Structure 1
Amino acid sequence: MKVCAVFNTDQLGGAERSFINSLADLPDYAKVSIWIPKLKDPERLEQTILSLLPKAHVMRFKLNGFYYRSSRTSKFSKPLLLLSFIFALWRIKGFPLKDTDILWLNGNKVGALFTVLCMLRNWKGSIWWHLRDYFPASSLLKRLIDRKTPFEKHFIANSFSVMDDFKQQYPWQKHLHVLYNSPPQVAINASEAREFKGSIGIASMLTPWKGQHDILWMAYRQEEKLVELGIREIILYGDDIYLTNRQHQNYKAALEKIASKFSQIKIVFAGLKPLSEIYSSLDILIHSSIKREPFGRVIVEAMANGLPVLSTGLGGAGELVNNERAFCYEPAHDHMFIEALESAILDISNPVRRKKAIQFVNDLQKQIKQQYSDLIGSYIL
């Protein structure tokens, strides 16, 4: 079984870490080639791939940034988007597909692009289109999904929430699968009691729907209360790692402007850091998405490291959190946020919730193993 795995970006985010773990879990008999689009700076992603897959053959292909930017913005008209798509298609026209059995596409941009390429080549194999986000309602994409092809199209959702959303748009699609993002192994010290030192934070790319501004505004309005609870700093891990021309632009500057209003609590923009540093420096992780989250990998990463988690629980994140293993609140709801935060601080040394969270991560690993087995089995059959 020859698998060609294509990343959606050359930046390292949660979707990319999950994809790497999924590739590492492929059967030993699978021969894997890995391709990264060269857009910005692929070094960090490539190093992470090789750290988990030291024998992997990692290659790069050119994908014009204009296609990437125009596919994420409403400023461009459909003709310009189509033009950028055609140009991107021309850039990958020589992509090697010979003898490939499975073309695993990690996201919608490469999903649409390579599906058209395979149609033009009359390629015969199996496409695994990994839905890392809720599928956009688009007439062009609908025509592409509905079109009969000489190859099988399998759609892999990273949560039941994403799959249900896709099924509502395409109820006639047969090959639908759920494959949760692989969580890390539970840390050795995850079950140990913690001492609250006053650091809470968010680990996410900087983008409005991730809700960093929502947390900062609530924290600003309730700064006195947070100080009473012993909070000294709010750390924002992550950066604007994706090329974009839309509402993401200048978002970090907007966050910095809010941060400048605080008089007692320190707001730290920590940038991109190793996971070990993130989860060792925080006392509580806040998962702050204000729109549906396809999965919420940082939630299970925090649980695997023994951290209490606050979450809005929207979308796929709702499949990961409940009141037994996390603390939930609604966006822009100061009282619920403060109440959840206070409960998390009081509960930080309580082993019961932490043990339930760790058990959930272990159970999730077993569930993913079965999901993966079903996915591989669907191809073999």
Structure 2
Amino acid sequence: MQNKVSESRKKRCLSDNLFSQRMDGVRSVCIGIAIKAGSSYEPARKPGIAHFTEHMVFKGTKSRTAYELKEPIEKSGGTINAFTGKESTIYFARVPDYLARDAINILKSLCFEAEFPESQFHMEKQVVLEEIHSTEDDPVEQAYEGFFQEVWRECPYGKPILGNEKSINGLTREDLFDFYDSKYVCENMVFSLAGNYNPHLIDSLEGFRHGRKNRKEPEIIYSPRSALIIKEKEDLQQIHLLMGIEAPSRTDGDYEALQVLNTVLSGGMSSRLFHEIREKKGLVYAIDTGLVAYPLGGVFYLYSATTGEKIIPLLDELKRQLASLVEIGITEAELAYGKERLKGKLLLSTESTYATMMRNLDTGIAFGQPLSVDEMEKRIDGITAEGIRNALQKYFTSSWVVSMVIPAKSSEMIKKTELHMNGGFFL
């Protein structure tokens, strides 16, 4: 699906790597810097280095101590934080408008002046190891991680973002300096600014405008060897079920169709799966679907959790619902619900400087320049029931990969399921 660049969008795109949007009626500014330094860009034998680097940059820079990086922003009621994904590491600050220039200077210091103090290095390793251990204790995290590692086992996207105990213990300060020096460069960065700022604030980023490096995206290879992954865990009451299939990339014409479908299935208490499986049958407390999309591919997933005695009726109902979708599609009422809910949430997000900053980052990185809200609405309006049926035929008819984390006491019950006997979930 192609879109011409509108005049309003051109005004917001100040250069290849700087997106800016002034917002009336607000007194805050949100600044974000997205760096092509996510886990998919790590050296093969150093999983977790991107996330550990993100932790360590907050420990002090050439011009500021760790306290001086945080205190000026937090004292004003603002927020400064960062997160690492598979594609990017994103640093951001949301502050009262009068503090915007200081926030930019702090973010620049984080992204260009980190020192990785030796006195903090080994202690922060322990913090990251505790973070890894906390995810190992979380059955939901383990179900998701088991799925991603299986379906993307032959490409960088399958690596856990946090790394593992062995890889983190093996990292040196020199490793971090090498990663930081090679990845934290202007050509790998995209800046996004949203809120009530003085136009002269852009001058603060003048030296960092740059054409983005035309680098090859990490390849996504969807290649599961097993359609069923089961992990037993003590002290659980529920079976945690994560099942998914291959899905389109962020810029593929089917992306919006599956976004609407995702909303129809689990967007709110009025959604199909919530209504049919939780409200009518009481089989679950939590049920959710999601679409994860990157430049060269993605996955669509469904998560639910239930107790052992309900797992067979849950699997039967999921199969019935998904088979019906493939055979019949969605109703016109569901199509209207999915589209209106998506557009409504989009419009509500325009009141947030953080949401606006992130939306411009997301669409700007994906399409070269940010999409306006009007353009995003038009893309959603263009989705038809036939388009969704075509996407369902294209993707949902594949074998679903299932990742389960189960209580040890439910092992015998799982063996009785059609899922276990068939070695996977097939419609």
Q: TM-score, normalised on structure 2?
A: 0.27
Greater length-normalized contact order (CA 8 Å, ≥ 6 residues apart): 2
Which structure dedicates a bigger proportion of its chain to helix? Answer: 2
Q: TM-score, normalised on structure 1?
A: 0.30
